[in-house]
Amino acid sequence: MKKIEMTIECPDCRGTGLYSGMGEGQGAAVICHKCKGTGAYFYSYSYKEFTERKKQKGIKRVYLAGGGYKIGLGKINFTSIGEIDMDKEGISYSEFLAGKKPSHIKKLGCPMLLDQDACHNKEGFVKECNILNGGWFSQITTCKKYQNKEKCWLRFEL
């Protein structure tokens, strides 16, 4: 076991002590929860050096994310979404072990719900979401376009 200890610039707020993200409107911020507003973070970590990726028993399929839903194998009837055959989503565990990555299960949510970080990194995407919604929205699932998320996925994948 190896151990690292140091005081670093807080990675969540980039040393500002403040956080301003999707939940905070323009000009607003909250105290960073990680550094408690100091901008500094004491980092202590013990670790075992990586040698190889280990296998996990009992896994049949791998998914990118569940979008807040409990996911599993087979056909699942999701409230307000309908049925999704989860055996046709994601990838097999052997494909994952071979290096393949699964795609988003688009029926589970819009790009902002399933990959908010990528949306913020895509030039103008979040701004366009607000415009399409008719103004700033505070909860992603209350977006006026949420039920037509297929169009948002098309815009996201441009």
pLDDT at 127 over 80: yes
pLDDT-based confidence at 89, cuts 50/70/90? Answer: very high
Q: pLDDT tens across 22-45, in order?
A: 889 899 999 999 999 999 999 999
* Residue appearing with tokens 């815009």: 155
Return the higher-pLDDT residue of 69 and 97: 97
Instruction: Give the model's pLDDT for residue 132.
Output: 82
Domain ranges of the chain: 2-47, 54-108, 111-158
Residue pair 71/46 in contact (Cβ under 8 Å)? The answer is no
Provide the whole-model pTM. 0.65
Residue pair 151/112 in contact (Cβ under 8 Å)? The answer is no
pLDDT at 146 over 80: no
